[in-house]
Amino acid sequence: MRSVSPVGMFRTDADGRCLDVNMRWCEITGLTREDSLGQGWVQALHPDDHERITKGWSRAIREDRSFETKFRFQRSNGVITPVLGQALPERDARGRVCYFVGTITDLTGQIETENKLRRLALQLELEQQRERGRIARGLHDEVGQILAVARAKLERLIQTGAGGDLPVRAAEIRTLVNRAIEHIRTLTFDLCSPVLRELGFVAAVESLCEQLGKDSGVRFRVTADQDPWMLDEDVPILLYRAVRELCINVVKHARALHAEVLLHVGANLARIVVVDDGEGFNASQGARNFGPDGGFGLFAIREISRQLGGRFEIESIPGKQTRAVLSVPLG
């Protein structure tokens, strides 16, 4: 077992005594080959896993069956390595077990990724809760109050009856109702663009950039193919989320004066480019940072591109423009 392998490999006799290990086994367990032989490998088991693993391994040997479980090794310096251990019996021509051959797979990277995804899922849930709270406050504080005032004016109008100032009072109520409608449209747009549903992807992006430009002062320009984007039902929703995240990042973080959104669709590929003339940032660092400073947004876009089988790239240098490219295969 001297060959290079991504997993630790071991071989035992029919009684479960270790006969040989490879180099990767030694790297994972922290034991030398000599220390691993016989029952020596048991000394590297994590104390909390020792009894469970030794009993399970003894039972597998006694019953001549395969063995598979997750457990931990602990080095003499305290470093703990989680692994997946697997072993299968090898039988002779008569069906008797003569060896057990197995592997251990280091799960450190997988567990770190799972933990990171759990943290991101929690952060996403928190962001969603904040968004729901913002919309709820908007409905209560803005729309609710406007409608309450409009109702009071209507009640007063009903009580006092029609008079010479009826047109003025009616106009006031109409203004209040129009304000309420505008607030509801804004909140609805934040939840899901009705333009996307009614007029399609390009129109939704144009509407988004127009609204962001009004609110922030950033001058957005959208350049798109003349032909309409013919995309599967769910694809425009995901792409719109990605474009919205990129444009909001421009508004919040880039300190840009101008931004351009390029939409191109070919025979087999849809391509979205967002360029701004802002101050830029360290793109490689931002992609690794999943905090609320924008790194989480980049991660979300990468996840969208992954779901669609595409690719997301971002080029930025502090003090210069930022260029983000999302490419997604069609069909």
Q: How many angstroms separate the CA atoms of 209 and 214, rounded?
A: 9
Are 329 and 210 part of one and the same domain?
yes
Residue 200 lies in a domain: yes
| Angle at 102 (CA atoms; ends 79, 25), nearest 5 degrees | 35
Are 62 and 176 part of one and the same domain?
no
- Output DSSP code: residue 41: G
Question: pLDDT confidence of 317, banded at 50, 70, 90?
Answer: confident
Residue at which a domain ends, from 191, 209, 225: 191
Are 299 and 232 part of one and the same domain?
yes
Are 211 and 176 part of one and the same domain?
no
Residue at which a domain ends, from 174, 191, 208: 191
Residue 72 lies in a domain: yes
Are 210 and 302 part of one and the same domain?
yes
**CATH number of the domain that residue 309 is part of:** 3.30.565.10
pTM of the model: 0.49
C-alpha to C-alpha distances, 58 to 9, 29, 55, 114, 293, nearest whole angstrom: 19, 20, 5, 31, 52
Are 312 and 200 part of one and the same domain?
yes
pLDDT value of residue 308: 79
Residue 1 lies in a domain: no
C-alpha to C-alpha distances, 298 to 71, 162, 292, nearest whole angstrom: 34, 59, 11
pLDDT value of residue 59: 94
Contacts of residue 324, Cβ cutoff 8 Å, sequence gap at least 6? 246, 273, 274, 275, 301, 312, 313, 314, 315
Are 315 and 199 part of one and the same domain?
yes
Are 246 and 304 part of one and the same domain?
yes
Residue 197 lies in a domain: yes
Are 23 and 121 part of one and the same domain?
no
pLDDT value of residue 309: 83
Strand partners, 223: 262
When divided into structural domains, the chain yields a total of 3
pLDDT value of residue 289: 43
Q: CA torsion angle for 59, 63, 64, 67 (degrees, to 10)? A: -40
Are 234 and 268 part of one and the same domain?
yes
Q: What is the pLDDT of residues 176-203, one digit of tens each?
A: 887 787 777 666 665 566 677 778 888 8
Are 212 and 312 part of one and the same domain?
yes
Q: How many angstroms separate the CA atoms of 237 and 274, rounded?
A: 17
If one compares 133 and 247, the residue with the highest pLDDT of the two is: 247
Please write down the long-range contacts of 78-83, taking CB distance under 8 Å and 24 or more positions apart. Answer: 79/30, 80/46, 81/28, 81/29, 81/30, 81/106, 81/108, 82/106, 82/107, 82/108, 82/111, 83/8, 83/28, 83/107
Q: How many angstroms separate the CA atoms of 129 and 176, rounded?
A: 29
**CATH number of the domain that residue 69 is part of:** 3.30.450.20
Are 142 and 220 part of one and the same domain?
no
Q: How many angstroms separate the CA atoms of 176 and 159, rounded?
A: 19
Least confident of 76-85, 186-195, 288-297, 308-317: 288-297
16: left (phi over 0), alpha (psi -120 to 50) or beta: left
Strand partners, 67: 87
Classified as helix, coil or strand, 191 is helix
Q: How many angstroms separate the CA atoms of 59 and 54, rounded?
A: 9
Residue 294 lies in a domain: yes
Strand-by-strand arrangement of the 322-329 sheet: 219-224, 258-265, 269-276, 322-329, 311-316
Per-residue pLDDT averaged across 221-242, rounded?
A: 74
C-alpha to C-alpha distances, 23 to 1, 10, 14, 78, 240, nearest whole angstrom: 8, 10, 23, 21, 49
115: left (phi over 0), alpha (psi -120 to 50) or beta: alpha
Q: How many angstroms separate the CA atoms of 210 and 324, rounded?
A: 19
Q: Quote the domain boundaries for residue 289.
A: 193-331
Is residue 152 over pLDDT 60?
yes
Residue at which a domain ends, from 139, 166, 191: 191
C-alpha to C-alpha distances, 220 to 72, 248, 312, 314, nearest whole angstrom: 54, 11, 21, 19
